[in-house]
Amino acid sequence: MTRISASTLGAIMMALALAACGGGGDDTGSSNSGNSGNSGNNGNSGNTGTTSAFTQSAKWTFALPASGSTVCYDFNAKAEVANCSGNAWDLKVKSSGMTGSLWTNSGTSGSGGGGAFGGPFDHTWAELQTWQNATTDPKSGAIPSTLFFKDSASGVFSGTNDIASAAFEYGVGGANDHLLYPNFRTFVITTDSTKLDPVGSASSPVYALQVTGYYGGAGGTTSGNPSFRWVDRSDVSQTVRTATVNASADWVYYDLQAGAVSTASGTWHIAFNRYNFKLNGGESGSGKVAGYVGKTPAGFYDADKKPVASKFTDSSNLVATAADLTSTLDVPATVSAWVKDGTSSPLGPKSTGTYPNPLNYGWYTYYPTTTAAAAAGLPSVAHLIKANVDSASLLRGGEGNTYARFHVTQIAYADPNNASSQQTWTIEFDVQP
């Protein structure tokens, strides 16, 4: 049986509501726009009979690369991909030297239309082998495309609400309200997170930025069009600049200094994909950009930190919060307090267990001590890992319309008595082309 946590269930219900009412949608962009009909008209997705749509198999065996390096695989072509670009790859393994993490071709990890339905703690290989189709749960029926979750960024714009946003709240007006509302927080964004300088300079600007809306187009009703305003804190004129970008299809990269849309390989500070934001630093980019929450305006949240509907829907908010951009803001007390971007994937859950006992990372179990390794039937060597063969997941490919169930079947060491020796991984797929 699929195991879904309470928090995951809440995210599922929110994703369904957003998709139905235009608040956020699938967020896979144009590369996956043709897949929105997964629940009933996507090839074999309506197949609930005895004929399996998993008509092919693939087996990927690879040497774990050096720490910080990645290797990608195309389960349709049944081949390793020379570089992890475009949509012609489906699964990425990123090495940390002693272990590897798994990622989909989606969101912050790739430009494709991939994603995953559940992770290694949500499905077993034995369970998924009973499925006839990747988009039809034999117990609960069709699986909407929105539930194949994308890899995502975590950073200063990440929040603890149902849409994981620090800049927006969803549906504050009640059950029939499916809109996104900005909270007009002011974010302090540095271009050099190695410096404790909350004001900045011409060469290393620091910006104060507010997200002011989500809807654009004629009549201001088209979702996925975030608007924002900002000032350069080192500029004595404190000129407020404004912009709106169409981020409904894919990531849009923006250069705050130039006040213009850029590219992923060009100069950029902040990027937008519908209501998801990332900064050019940490795991999201090669720059040194990071952020800090400078101010949350009064009245938007009650004593229990719940959104106050009457305040969020107040038409005067845009004008009333404008002065916050140039006011005194909270700033980091130390360099380490700058919030740098991280990334997360449904294929990379938090581990279970406590040291010095074995730690379960879903796809493998880590044995930190010689005692723990010996108890598992492994050589008495600390820091070994072993594949969890029965952990599995459903993966949507980078093209956005192919699927596979997969599991890690082996992690072998060149020298079983040396945890630092070369690892060779084997991952097996049943493919729904």
pLDDT digits (tens, 9 = 90+) for 237-282: 999 999 999 999 888 999 999 999 999 999 999 999 889 899 999 9
Indicate the domain borders of the chain: 6-150+345-432, 152-343
State the Cα torsion 105-109-113-116 to the nearest 10°: 70
Confidence of residue 16 (pLDDT cuts 50, 70, 90): very low
What separation in angstroms does the CA of 36 have from each of 29, 62, 118, 188, 204?
10, 33, 18, 36, 42
Tokens of 421: 């020796």
Percent of the chain with pLDDT over 90: 76
pLDDT higher than threshold 80 for residue 33: no
**What are 139-181's pLDDT values in tens digits?**
889 998 888 998 887 899 998 887 889 999 999 988 889 899 9
State the Cα torsion 180-186-191-197 to the nearest 10°: -160
**What are 335-355's pLDDT values in tens digits?**
999 999 998 899 998 899 999
pLDDT higher than threshold 80 for residue 23: no
Give the model's pLDDT for residue 20.
42
**What are 385-404's pLDDT values in tens digits?**
999 999 999 999 999 999 99
| Number of other CB atoms surrounding residue 409 within 10 Å | 16
* pTM > 0.75: no
Which of 379, 363, 361 is CA-nearest to residue 371? 379
What separation in angstroms does the CA of 16 have from each of 25, 231, 259?
8, 36, 35
Determine contact, residues 28/152, Cβ cutoff 8 Å: no
| Gap between the Cα atoms of 144 and 247, Å rounded | 22
| Gap between the Cα atoms of 60 and 52, Å rounded | 22
Confidence of residue 416 (pLDDT cuts 50, 70, 90): very high
Give the model's pLDDT for residue 50.
67
